[in-house]
Structure 1
Amino acid sequence: MTLYDKVGGAPTFERLVHAFYEGVAADAELRALYPEEDLAPAERRLRMFLTQYFGGPTTYSQERGHPRLRMRHAPYPVTLDMRDRWMRHMLAALDTLDLPEAQAEQMRDYFLRAAHMLVNTPGATPPPPSLER
């Protein structure tokens, strides 16, 4: 059984990503990184990506090809501050799901690694932030 299935499948990822983008919409600095006026397309893309990553349907790759996260984020200035803002909103969204700790920890670990990997500003290579909240 995949993590996608263990945490409740599509409804769980819909709630997670929607809660995340509610946080993004209220964060002017992070919101500025999203070029689209409407966040719904970004919400759909992230939901498809996370669904696929955690073992659900592969709709993301079918529609968009290989995820190539670093390449897709290269045009945007992902600073340490943006990484931390992204993490703050994603962790808050994750907390709304009330998942068993083992599954929540697996997801937190991935989000932290992915967010740190996407930092693309010169000299921004300190270790990832602590997950302590």
Structure 2
Amino acid sequence: MRKTGTIYEAIGGFEAIDTLVTAFYKRVGNHPKLVPIFPADLTETARKQRLFLTQFFGGPRWYTEDRGHPMMKRRHSPFEITPERRDAWLECMNAALIESNIDEPYRTAIFEKLTMTAHHMVNTPDK
């Protein structure tokens, strides 16, 4: 991979994001801790995730153009996001990052940024 100014460019742009999101939602759709808070059809959820990750990692601002300001905490507030679900989400993302063959140091940088975001989304204690 060539070294460039953003993670988005460094990992290969939208093609890499698309591969990552596809690998991620394949896992989410089968994870017993996550299925209850995700729709049965993940098509639209994955589309929004592609837009968000593109923007989050320095690519075009497609998420904002399509959906407005991310307001991630507010958008996730209707869902019970527990520490257990956060960990399951991160487990799925880590496996998707590995499957997607995203090179270091970008894989670690992406996972660290998403880990911080995932911690911020927790809004319900484990039961």
What TM-score comes out, normalization by structure 2 length? 0.91
1:82 aligns with 2:97: no
- Which one-letter code corresponds to 1:26 in the other structure? N
Deviations 1:72-101, CA, capped at 9 Å, x for gaps: 011111001100000000000001122221
* Alignment correspondent of 1:19: 23
Amino acid in structure 1 at the alignment position of 2:50: R
Alpha-carbon distance in 2 for matches of 1:48, 1:83? 21
Matched, 1:39 2:59: no
In 2, Cα distance between equivalents of 1:29 and 1:109: 22
For these two proteins, the number of residue pairs brought into alignment is 122
| Matching residue's letter, 1:31 | V
Please name the residue that 1:117 is paired with: 120
* Secondary structure of residue in 2 paired with 1:28: coil
Deviation for aligned residue 1:57: 1.3
Structure 1 position 14, deviation (Å): 0.3
Q: Does 1:56 align with 2:46?
A: no
Specify every segment of 5 or more residues in structure 2 that has no aligned partner in the other structure, as ranges. Answer: none
Q: 1:105: how far off?
A: 1.2
The share of aligned pairs that are identical, in percent, is 38
Amino acid aligned to 1:24: V
Please give the TM-score of this superposition, normalised by the length of structure 1.
0.87
Alpha-carbon offset, residue 32 of structure 1: 1.2
How far apart are residue 38 of structure 1 and its match?
1.0
5+ unaligned residues in a row in structure 1: which ranges?
125-133
SS in 2 for 1:114: helix
| Counterpart-to-counterpart distance in 2, 1:99 and 1:27 | 23
